[in-house]
């Protein structure tokens, strides 16, 4: 099966509701492709979904009733339009997609050929050019007073990895994997440039630096007790454990926890996992509490580009309501004098400053603490929002101290 045929299967799977990243990974494991085809499939998959709204805008004048086309044919046209945007020569981008259409819908091959040859650039509103929801771009303009940062969501990113191990493990990693590493924007964060199959043996974990900083912001030292709430597979928990902290990671998803537990045990890291619904109080207290709450994920549109087309305004409000519940649980679990870090991988006001502002009004025993963030920022007022440039995810953090 060709890489283009696999791409069409992938597009249909994601259209049916599956997530792009794990589906692509499954396809790459299942099919024996050359390194060149693997790279092409990956680039095509992310590129098409990152630019999907604009691709449809280019195709619209040539397809009066696109919704009546078979889905596989429509995705072939979108992929051909993406290669047009990439500047690929006419025959090299048209012929292969026409051939894919011929395999399943030969009667539409002539249409595909005509459409792909007649493509031309068109003016479009900013939200269409960036392939983002109108309501979200309007909200960013109002809150951040700019939207230029949103262009970064359509650009590729390097593979960031975090060094796990003893506190001087980063030095060991540099010595062992020098050929595949260059420094990232944070301590213990690197960009991996070697073969993907090599870095796990070096104690490296894929992790965006913006996610890593949420764990570093907690400031947990050796021997300190840490509660990692909504910890999922425990990536942040594993990093904190590698720094010597005693970590208990709680989440409602037992399957993700089991997968994480197996991974960290292989790396010699001890994290205590417990499955709980964190909308209810928990029987634990700690001086350091991290709540990396579930969110709409608008800061991860680069790596999860399909999510932008599924997002609805009401989901932002629903997530803010859930985050409010979870933050109450985290507050009860924070001892007097302790630190509570709240983080979300999203750039909405409602899920960031809005949640924290309302929380502080209800809880005068918590005060916000200023902190320095070495990552580029969009806004730093009540907490900080990371600018998603250079491959960084967009993130929000607040560091809160429980006072007596």
Residues in binding site for S-adenosyl-L-methionine: 251, 292
Residue 345 annotated in active site: yes
Q: Are 254 and 275 in contact (CB under 8 A)?
A: yes
Kindly provide the b/e burial profile for residues 150-181, where b requires at least 16 CB atoms within 10 angstroms of the residue's own CB: bebbbeebebbbbbbbeeebbeebeeebeebb
Task: Write the DSSP string, 83-140.
Answer: HHHTT--HHHHHHHHHHHHHHH-GGGHHHHHHHHHS-------HHHHTT--HHHHHHH
Give strand pairing partners of 116: none
For the chain, give the longest Cα–Cα distance: 75
Q: What is the DSSP letter of 393?
A: P
In terms of phi and psi (left: phi > 0; alpha: psi -120 to 50; beta: otherwise), the region of 33 is beta
Return the SS3 of 221.
Answer: coil
Query: Which residues contribute to the annotated binding site?
Result: 251, 292
Identify which of 215, 274, 270, 202 has the alpha carbon closest to the alpha carbon of residue 242: 270
403 backbone dihedrals φ, ψ, rounded to 5° = -100, 165
CB 53 within 8 Å of CB 128: yes
Active-site residue list: 345
């Amino acid at each position: 099966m060709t890489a283009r045929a696999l791409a069409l299967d992938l597009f249909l799977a994601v259209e049916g509701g599956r997530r792009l990243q794990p589906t692509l990974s499954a396809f790459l494991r299942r099919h024996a492709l050359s390194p060149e085809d693997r790279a092409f499939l990956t680039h095509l998959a992310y590129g098409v979904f990152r630019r999907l709204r604009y691709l449809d805008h280019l195709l619209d004048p040539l397809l009066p009733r696109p919704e009546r086309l078979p889905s596989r044919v429509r995705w072939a046209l979108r992929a051909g339009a993406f290669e047009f945007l990439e500047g690929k020569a006419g025959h090299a981008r048209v012929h292969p997609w026409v051939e894919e259409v011929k395999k399943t819908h030969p009667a539409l091959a002539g249409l595909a050929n005509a459409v792909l040859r007649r493509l031309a650039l068109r003016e479009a509103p900013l939200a269409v050019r960036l392939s983002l929801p109108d309501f979200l771009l309007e909200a960013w303009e109002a809150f951040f007073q700019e939207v230029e940062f949103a262009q970064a969501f359509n650009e590729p990113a390097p593979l960031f990895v975090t060094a796990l191990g003893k506190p001087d493990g980063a030095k060991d990693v540099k010595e062992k994997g020098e050929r595949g590493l260059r420094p990232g924007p944070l301590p213990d964060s690197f960009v991996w440039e070697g073969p993907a199959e090599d870095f796990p043996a070096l104690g490296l974990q894929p992790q965006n630096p913006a996610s890593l900083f949420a764990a570093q912001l907690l400031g947990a030292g050796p021997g300190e007790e840490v509660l990692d709430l909504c910890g999922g597979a425990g990536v942040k928990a594993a990093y904190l454990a590698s720094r010597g902290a005693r970590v208990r990671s709680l989440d409602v998803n037992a399957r993700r926890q089991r997968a994480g537990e197996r991974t960290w045990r292989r790396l010699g890291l001890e994290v205590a996992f417990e499955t709980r619904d964190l909308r209810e109080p928990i029987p634990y207290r700690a001086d350091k509490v991290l709540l990396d709450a579930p969110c709409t994920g608008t800061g991860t549109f680069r790596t999860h580009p399909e999510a932008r087309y599924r997002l609805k305004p009401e989901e932002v409000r629903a997530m803010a309501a859930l985050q409010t519940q979870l933050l109450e649980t985290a507050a009860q679990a924070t001892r007097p004098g302790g630190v509570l870090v709240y983080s979300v991988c999203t750039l909405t006001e409602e899920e960031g400053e809005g949640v924290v502002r309302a929380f502080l009004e209800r809880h005068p025993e918590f005060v916000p603490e200023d902190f320095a963030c070495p990552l580029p920022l969009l806004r730093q007022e009540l907490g900080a929002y990371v600018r998603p440039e250079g491959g960084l995810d967009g993130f929000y953090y607040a560091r809160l101290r429980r006072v007596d």
